[in-house]
Amino acid sequence: MKLVFWAGFWTFLLDQATKWLVVHVLNLRTLGEIDVLPPLLNFRMAWNRGVNFGLFQGDSDAGRWLLIGIAVAIVLFVLVWIWRDPPAKWGKIAAGMLIGGALGNVVDRVLYGAVADFLNMSCCGIENPFAFNVADIAIFAGALGLVLFPGTRKPSGKSGNDTGNTRRKNAP
């Protein structure tokens, strides 16, 4: 669980540091947009009151606290899951990334009332209208990692197909 903690801690810290930098230091809150490597990478301020890509947007306090509750429930679910069926190293790192990202977005909802999204990537003449943040990347990568690097629990062998040590009744 130590590896999960440290992966989550560094993910959370990186997410919050980048948000603080772009919102407060670079003043993206006021500027709205900064071209970094146009058109590939731009900082575009977007306050996400919904879930990924602004789905299920809602300005109510009840909706905000519901999303906070769902995120905390997911974090607790992942913690129990990996405690009961510990994955290998990369699975633990993935779990930490998912947890750190989810908690980073929870802190945004508590502090700002919405998640601070600022990364925007477009390419090849296609204008991407969506923005995301480090936490979103970590949540996606963490979920994918938990699928690719599952736990180590072995089957119990009580499936009825266990023929390893059975003897034949009428063996010669």
Task: Give me the active site residues, please.
Answer: 117, 136
What are the beta bridge partners of residue 25? none
87's CB contacts (< 8 A; 6+ apart) are: 94, 95, 146, 149, 150, 151, 152
Task: Report d(CA 61, CA 98) in Å as an integer.
Answer: 25
Ramachandran category for residue 53: left, alpha or beta (phi over 0 → left; psi -120 to 50 → alpha)? left
